[in-house]
Structure 1
Amino acid sequence: MSATIRPLRRADRDAWARLWTGYLDFYETSLPQDVYEATFSRLIDPDMADMHGLIAEQAGRPTGLVHYLYHRHCWRVEDVCYLQDLFVDPEVRGSGLGRALIEAVYKAADDHGTPSVYWMTQEFNYRGRILYDQVATRTPFIKYQR
């Protein structure tokens, strides 16, 4: 089934919340409602040039999302792109939608003059990592967090 991938719109709020909740559930976390509101507002704000969200639709139904942001980097003149959240409804996984969302971020980054796109995932995300190994290069970095 073909998909349309497009920027988030205000009217997508409920569908976006459903998909993002699925993403957060997968990573065994939850966030308060004010974070949902702030995040969605940032993602659809045309004046927020560093933060973006795309939604995938199949037969008019939202079935996936991706959030990405641009930031400066001390080792590059140009920005880099961090693909922060990627989620595809479980019933359509394996359809190529995850790849299409990643490629949409690659295109947006290229159009922005940002050749480097990176993301992180949990070690236990085995199914996602099969795709990631096909579309990107795994690095040896280990994440530390306060």
Structure 2
Amino acid sequence: RDAWEPLWRGYQEFYNVDLPPDTTDLTWRRFHDPAEPMYALGAFLQGGLVGIVHYLFHRSSWTPGPYCYLQDLFTAPAFRGRGVGRALIEAVYEAARQQGASRVYWLTHETNAQAMALYDQLADRTGFVQYRKLLS
């Protein structure tokens, strides 16, 4: 956790979010709970954790197997452009295949041009627009 948490905080800072410590604690516990469909992977270079990805599986009304939602992806700024993000996404693809998922999907902010340049090489843009209503 000591290596993961700075990257998790960096991801939140990138999106101008400050999650409560209880949410971070719960997220960490979910990664280690076999009953939870939420997972985490890390990328290591030069002896340290330099990238993280979080993903989860969920049912769909469109397919008998699950979908895989890649929820969070973050590479330490000093290691961007070295294939870390690509390797993490491809690792999620493999995990999704092993779980019988028919698709992996994710969202990014429309201003995240550097990430979208990578994503355009690894997946197709769908043209769908996300709507959101905060309930609390």
Instruction: Please classify the TM superposition score into its range, dividing by the shorter chain length.
Output: over 0.9
Aligned length: 133
Gaps of at least 5 residues in structure 1 are: 1-12
TM-score, normalised relative to structure 2: 0.95
User: In the alignment, residue 92 of structure 1 is paired with which amino acid?
Assistant: F
Offset at residue 14 of structure 1 (A): 1.6
Offset at residue 47 of structure 1 (A): 3.1
TM-score, normalised relative to structure 1: 0.89
Partners of 2:10 and 2:127 in 1: CA distance: 28
1:52 aligns with 2:13: no
1:39 aligns with 2:27: yes
Which structure has more RCO (C-alpha within 8 Å, separation ≥ 6)?
Answer: 1
Name the structure 2 match of 1:20.
8
Identity, in percent, stands at 50
Partners of 1:143 and 1:47 in 2: CA distance: 29
Name the structure 2 match of 1:3.
none
Query: Aligned-pair RMSD on alpha carbons?
Result: 0.8
Name the structure 2 match of 1:29.
17
Partners of 2:102 and 2:64 in 1: CA distance: 11
Choose which of 47, 57, 72 in structure 2 pairs with 1:85.
72
Moved over 4 A (4+): none
Partners of 2:35 and 2:126 in 1: CA distance: 33
Offset at residue 65 of structure 1 (A): 0.2
The secondary structure found in structure 2 opposite 1:14 is: coil
